[in-house]
Amino acid sequence: MNTRQAIKGKALVTGASTGIGAIYADRLAKRGHDLILVARNADQLGALAAQISESTGRSVEVVVADLSRREQLLKVENILRTDANISMLVNNAGSSKNRPFAESTADELEEMIALNVVALTRLSLAAVKGFMKHGSGILVNIGSGVILMPEVANEVYGGSKAFALNFTRNIAAQLEPHGIQVQVVLPGAVMTEAWARSGTDVNLVPEGAMMTAGDLVDASLTALDQKEVVTFPSLQDVSGWVAMEDARAALIPQIFQGKPATRYA
């Protein structure tokens, strides 16, 4: 089946006003989707919607919402539950703070979890319930390559992106028999406004290691067409990831044993 023909309808993109989300919106409109764009900044969202609608002729709806706030999250959930024309959800909205754990506030960490974990989970569920009725649909969750370096990344941000990976892989296996495609995208360093918002010095990134948001989205959509579940857009040689997965699988029977390891005797 041709993927480009199968994914028409409306695509709802969160965190859509700038960066990765804005590029997804542009590319999906060019692929033939009408759009529902969700973000907090009404002015940026409106300007993007007008530009995309003018350049592509697609219908673009705007929903101003802060998904870390429950009542606003529920508003977007309801759209996913009730609009039968939605065929794709891109969970791109996310938050990061570059501050040591002991110097953080409980409220800012909770807000990060609310956006990166709770909103992603609830919106995924709302979308999937609709997809199940039609026997088709696409769910894309944006994770991060920081899952591979938990000692370095912000502890809550890295943990939330590890959740996105494990969550997505699990439901991908559940939903494939129902005609629903699921993908998690794990970027490395990407040039977006998120660096400034998180308080991270972009100059710390090694020269040549930063990808543009356009290249990231284009690679990720190609991977989606190829039916990838886990996508590292900048990973040239996948053998390292395959070896890591093989090693993980080999550990499973060793962990599920009824006696302590001899080193603990």
Distance in angstroms (rounded) separating the CA atoms of residues 194 and 17: 12
pLDDT band at 203 (very low <50, low <70, confident <90, very high): low
User: In the predicted model, what is the mean pLDDT of the chain?
Assistant: 90
Is 96 or 7 the better-scoring residue by pLDDT? Answer: 96
With a cut of 80, say whether residue 206 has pLDDT above it: no
Per residue in 226-261, pLDDT (tens digit) is 999 999 999 999 999 999 999 999 999 999 999 999
Per residue in 121-135, pLDDT (tens digit) is 999 999 999 999 999
CB burial of 220-235 (b: ≥16 within 10 Å; e: otherwise) equals: bbebbeeebbbbbbbe
Asked if 13 contacts 25 with a C-beta cutoff of 8 angstroms, the reply is: yes
pLDDT value at position 93? 94
Q: What number does CATH give the domain 3-264?
A: 3.40.50.720
With a cut of 60, say whether residue 33 has pLDDT above it: yes
pLDDT band at 265 (very low <50, low <70, confident <90, very high): confident
Q: Tokens 């284009």 belong to which residue?
A: 218
pLDDT value at position 1? 31
Distance in angstroms (rounded) separating the CA atoms of residues 183 and 222: 12
The closest of 218, 131, 219, 245 to 181, measured between CA atoms, is: 131
| Tokens, residue 174 | 């559940």
Give the DSSP letter string of 53-99. Answer: HHHH---EEEEE--TTSHHHHHHHHHHHHH-TTEEEEEE-------S
With a cut of 60, say whether residue 119 has pLDDT above it: yes
The closest of 31, 173, 148 to 90, measured between CA atoms, is: 31
pLDDT value at position 152? 80
- The pair phi, psi for residue 248, each rounded to 5°, is -60, -45
Q: Residue 50, Cβ neighbours under 10 Å: how many? A: 12
Please report, rounded to a whole number, the percentage of residues in the chain having pLDDT higher than 90.
Answer: 78
pLDDT value at position 107? 93
pLDDT band at 111 (very low <50, low <70, confident <90, very high): very high
161 catalytic per annotation: yes
Return the domain boundaries, the chain: 3-264
Per residue in 48-106, pLDDT (tens digit) is 999 999 999 999 999 999 999 999 999 999 999 999 999 999 999 998 877 888 999 99
Mean pLDDT to the nearest integer, 148-164? 89
Give the SS3 label for residue 181: strand
Catalytic residue from among 129, 157, 227, 264 = 157
pLDDT value at position 5? 38
259 catalytic per annotation: no
Per residue in 166-197, pLDDT (tens digit) is 999 999 999 999 999 999 999 987 766 654 55
Distance in angstroms (rounded) separating the CA atoms of residues 74 and 141: 19
How far, rounded to the nearest angstrom, does the alpha carbon of residue 3 sit from its chain's CA centroid? 19
Q: Kind and range of the H or E element at 107? A: helix 106-113
Tell how strand 86-91 and strand 137-142 pair up: parallel
Sheet containing 86-91: give its strands across: 60-64, 33-39, 9-14, 86-91, 137-142, 180-185, 230-231
With a cut of 50, say whether residue 204 has pLDDT above it: yes
pLDDT band at 153 (very low <50, low <70, confident <90, very high): confident
Question: Rounded to two decimals, what is the model's pTM?
Answer: 0.90
Mean pLDDT to the nearest integer, 147-171? 92
Catalytic residue from among 24, 161, 227, 259 = 161
